[in-house]
Copies of this chain bind each other. A is one copy, B any other.
């Protein structure tokens, strides 16, 4: 059976035209390629080249061979990729989170239940998560709604309530509760990776200018030293993680009272049962 090394060298010669250039690209020497090409002809028992004194060219069979060889090389690369990917899939759990707090709370629990596994977490707006679960891109997801498709198994794992955090002088700070539309038009300081919350903001306060901070430090810095409204949630308030000199007003819109569901494929329920057993509907709170 012809070895892939020879096929690599053949395709290199095909693409670069001369043994010299091919050798350079392959980080080897010209004589090596001379020998390899000869060996290839020997093994196939078929002439692949037309040789003149100082020139080597593929004949018609050689051209075909080089083209076929690419197929084989692709198969070889595909093999390696598939094996590595399969191994990886056995050792990693990929999770989609629709918001940061579920990730903060659940990641350590998952790491504990599936110790030894690599946890790969994505965060984003969760409209695509169901598809990604079906396609096996994710094995788990946390959604902010209960999925209806019977293909999934889901369990409520907590809730989160959005607040707006205002400096004491702000006229809105005296209300017992606020609606998002009351904030529309105000400049608001925001973090970038906040999952589905982004979408709610875009829809309910489309006229606000968002000062989006990628770095948590920058956000904190600006929050402390400015009067821009920022969002917070009951999760932080319950833990006393509030900003000095600000008051937190609950937002009354129903979308701002999120309920989180941990979801997997029904067919994988058994595998993840130990995790579901560790989780109650108040785990995230």
What is A's interface to B at a CB cutoff of 8 Å? Answer: 1-5, 7-8, 44-48, 60-61, 64-65, 68-69, 71-73, 75-80, 82-84, 86-87, 90
Contact A64 B83 (CB under 8 A): yes
Contacts of A45 in B (CB 8 A): 84
Contacts of A78 in B (CB 8 A): 68, 71-72
Contact B72 A76 (CB under 8 A): yes
| Closest chain B CB from A47 CB (angstroms) | 7
A83's closest neighbor in chain B, by CB? Answer: B65
Name A84's contact: one of B7, B44, B76 (CB within 8 Å): B44
Contact B84 A46 (CB under 8 A): yes
In Å, the complex CA distance between A65 and B79 comes to: 7
Contact B79 A68 (CB under 8 A): yes
Question: Assembly of this chain: how many copies?
Answer: 2
Contact B79 A7 (CB under 8 A): yes
| Closest chain B CB from A185 CB (angstroms) | 55
A69's closest neighbor in chain B, by CB? Answer: B79
The answer to whether A61 and B44 touch (CB under 8 A), given A4-B2, A76-B2, is no
Contact B86 A64 (CB under 8 A): yes
In Å, the complex CA distance between A75 and B75 comes to: 7
Name A82's contact: one of B68, B86, B90 (CB within 8 Å): B68
Contact A83 B61 (CB under 8 A): yes
A73's closest neighbor in chain B, by CB? Answer: B1
Contacts of A46 in B (CB 8 A): 83-84, 87
In Å, the complex CA distance between A82 and B67 comes to: 11
A45's closest neighbor in chain B, by CB? Answer: B84
Given contacts A68-B79, A71-B78, 7 further A-B contacts (CB under 8 A): A1-B73, A2-B4, A2-B76, A3-B4, A44-B83, A60-B86, A72-B76
Contact B79 A47 (CB under 8 A): no
The answer to whether A2 and B72 touch (CB under 8 A), given A84-B44, A86-B61, is no
